[in-house]
Chain A
Amino acid sequence: QSVLTQPPSASGTPGQKVTISCSGSSSNIGSNYVYWYQQLPGTAPKLLIYRNNERPSGVPDRFSGSKSGTSASLAISGLRSEDEAEYYCAAWHDSLSSWAFGGGTKLTVL
């Protein structure tokens, strides 16, 4: 059972906007930055969002992150077929002194 809670699945049609939530506690999301990773089938996770809402170079601005209290969200606008992947949120957990990950959300582009 993951420390951070994500919905197991999400879906949308091309061009739509989809939002994926990530819920935690005061020991992780509530006191630290949130990170988002995209994992395409058969590949390693790739950094998508860091420090709640910043994008590494090369990540399209269709991807955006936000955080409020002990929850965070990843929004994908202008959905494209290549966005079909598993998405994971992560945050440092202070009391466990460890990285906490969400269980992952499988995004399907219909």
Chain B
Amino acid sequence: QVQLQESGPGLVKPSETLSLTCTVSGDSISGYYWSWIRQPAGMGLEWVGRAYPSGSILYNSSLKSRVTLSLDMSKNQFSLKMSSMTAADTAVYYCAREACRESSCYSWSYFPDSWGQGTLVTVSS
């Protein structure tokens, strides 16, 4: 059974860059999409972006200018970098595996089926 563990600083200063890592165990990151999804306290879910081992990467258009996603196949890790952090970016950040359960898989066939426990990131000076 796949397990996802987010890691990174819990506190980031305004204007700084956030770096988070998702370490995947129990399965290879090959063959899946990997997403970051965040949730401000008491609010709903917001998709940040997704990456596939082939190099295909998509970002939420509202965050695209500040976000960079990457995969490290050798370490089985998935990373997020978000620049110019503000208080509005304070949230729990989840990494999620996107799997396909069809005979033929296309980018739209994948969906989040396993989530990490999440890591709280607070932006404050």
Residues in A lying within 8 Å of B, measured CB to CB = 2, 32-33, 35, 37, 43-47, 50-51, 54, 56, 88, 90, 92, 94, 96-104
Contacts and interface: CB of A to CB of B under 8 A. Distances in A.
Interface of B is mostly: strand
Nearest to B95: A44
B53 interface: no
Given A51-B101, A96-B61, A33 B44 contact: no
B61 A44 contact: no
Interface in B67-97: 94
Interface string B33-66: 0010100000011110010000000101100000
Contacts of B44: 2, 88, 101-104
Interface residues of B, number: 21
Contacts, number: 55
Contact of B94 (A44, A51, A96, A99): A44
Contacts of B37: 99
B32 interface: no
A88 B8 CA distance: 26
B112 A35 contact: yes
Interface of B: 35, 37, 44-47, 50, 58, 60-61, 94, 101, 108, 111-118
Contacts of A56: 113
A92 B33 CA distance: 14
Contact of A98 (B47, B94, B112): B47
B46 A101 contact: yes
Contacts of A35: 111-112
Which of A32, A43, A56, A92 counts the most chain B CB atoms within 10 A? A92
A81 B50 CA distance: 35
Given A47-B114, A101-B44, A104-B45, 19 more contacts: A43-B117, A44-B94, A44-B116, A45-B112, A45-B115, A47-B112, A47-B113, A50-B111, A50-B113, A54-B101, A56-B113, A90-B112, A92-B108, A98-B47, A98-B58, A98-B60, A99-B35, A99-B50, A101-B45
